[in-house]
Structure formats: structure tokens, C-alpha cells
Amino acid sequence: MSASFQIEDPSVRFRILRKMVRSLPETNYETLKYLCNHLCRVIEFSETNKMDLKNLATLFGPTLVRTSDDDMLAMVRDMGHQCQIIECILRGFQYFFEDSMDDYGEDAGWHSITVKLRHRYKYPKCFVSNTRM
């Protein structure tokens, strides 16, 4: 998954990451979806619990996005990408997990999708962001 973050174009990068998430075995996909939904609810109360998007991504990135081997150097080297991937998934929860996002088509850009979502839904701040990663 971290290879997807080496792609320059954010729209292409997010589409590839979404395909990777969607290609997980069903049990893994549903578990990730449930966990991310819970983490987004935690972020809603970040002023109280101090667990904002970046803190949760830093905490869960290395755990959820593992390297293919147990090479400690590779784990440290990829840690930034692992955190970015989880931050991205939390920030764009609907894009990664809701089938209604298929209505926007393969060529819809990440930014245009988030703008449309902000007008279509009322979600907590971690779900839809006006910033690109």
C-alpha cells in the first residue's frame, strides 16, 4: 500500500488505494471498516480526548499497514507512509467504504468527490475534508 503514496497525482493515488482497500478479503475489509468508523467517532471528541486525526494515524498506521517482511529498517523507513495511508482512509471514510461513492465513477478526482460529499452529507470533520493529502 505504501507504494501508492509514491504516485504524484493525488486522484490516481487515492483511486489505487481505494482499489487496494476494496480488494481485501471480506473479513479484513469489514474489520477495517468497523475500526475506521470507530476511530472517526473518536476524532469527533478530539478536543476532549486529544486524539485527533494525526495522533490516531500515528498510533494505528504502523499496526494496520505492515511491511511485507519483518525487517526493522523497512518498518521505520515506511512509517511515514503507513501513517499517511491511515490518515487518508480516516479522512475519506465514505470514499473508501461506501458503495454510494461508486456513483462518482472511476475518473472522479479526490478533491471533487470531497466537495460533493460536503454538500450531500453532514459528517464529522474527519469524514470529509477540504484539504488534499
Residue 105 region, left (φ>0) first, then alpha (ψ -120 to 50), else beta? left
Which pLDDT tens digit goes with each residue over 53-95?
Answer: 999 999 999 889 877 677 778 778 788 888 989 999 999 898 8
Structural domain contains residue 132:
no
For the stretch 101-124, pLDDT in tens is 555 555 444 444 444 444 433 344
Q: In which domain, by residue range, is 99 found?
A: 2-120
101: cell is 461513492
Residue 133: inside a domain: no
The total of other beta-carbon atoms located within 10 Å of residue 65's CB is 19
- Position 127 in a domain: no
In the chain, the number of structural domains is 1
Indicate which CATH number applies to the domain containing 41.
1.10.555.10
Q: Is residue 10, in this structure, part of any structural domain at all?
A: yes
Do residues 44 and 126 make contact, with C-beta atoms less than 8 angstroms apart? yes
